[in-house]
Amino acid sequence: MPDASLLDGPIVMNPIVMNPTPQEPVSISGILPRRKDRELSGRAIVAGMFILGLFLASLLFIYFEFNTRPFRPLREALGREFRHSRPNVEGGKLKGRGPDTLRVSMSIPFDPYQEGAQTRMRLAKVIEISRQYHDLAKFDKLEVNLIHFPPERDAVIKTFEWRGIEAADSNFVP
C-alpha cells in the first residue's frame, strides 16, 4: 500500500507529457494534438460534396426545363428558318416585375442600322413565325433584338418593341 504522505506533497509533472491521461496520444515534441469532439472522414466529405453537386445540377436542370419549355418550339423554328442565327426566346416578366414580355434575340449577318429592307424582312418573318407558336395578344410587349457581330468590333444591337396586341394582328407590318 502506498504511503499516504506521498499523496499530500506537491505533484511534479514531467515537462514532456503535458496531459497525463492515458487515452490521449502524446506527440514526439511533447505537444498534444487538440482533441476533436467530432471527426468526419474524408470519404464522408467527398460523398457529401458529390451529393451536393448532384442536387444543384438537378435543381439547375429543373429550373431550365420549366423556364424554357414553353418557348422551345419557337426557338427551334427560328433556328430552322434562319441558320446560324443562334436564336434565344424568353418570356415572362423581367425579374418578376414589369410587363409580360416575349423577347426574341438573334444574330444577323448584316448591320441592322444600315440594311433597312433586310431588317424589315427579318422582323416580318420573326413575327410571322412567332404568331404560329404563341398568341402574341397574351403578351404586353413583344421585343426583338437583332445583333450583328462585325469582326474585331463591338456587337451592334438594335431593339424593336411593340405591344403584343399590335403584333398579334395579322395585318401588322413592322
pLDDT score for 29: 59
pTM: 0.66
Among the residue ranges 19-23, 59-63, 115-119, the one predicted with the least confidence is 19-23
pLDDT score for 116: 85
Give the span between the Cα atoms of 153 and 13, in whole angstroms.
78
- pLDDT of 4 above 90: no
pLDDT score for 55: 97
- pLDDT of 38 above 80: no
- pLDDT of 89 above 60: yes
- pLDDT tens digits for range 146-173: 999 999 999 999 999 988 787 777 767 7
158 within 8 A of 143, measured Cβ to Cβ: no
The DSSP output letter for 174 is -
- pLDDT of 56 above 90: yes
Residue ranges per domain, the chain? 70-168
- pLDDT tens digits for range 140-150: 999 999 999 99
What is the side-by-side strand order in the sheet with 100-108? 88-93, 100-108, 141-148, 156-163
Architecture of domain 70-168: 2-Layer Sandwich (3.30)
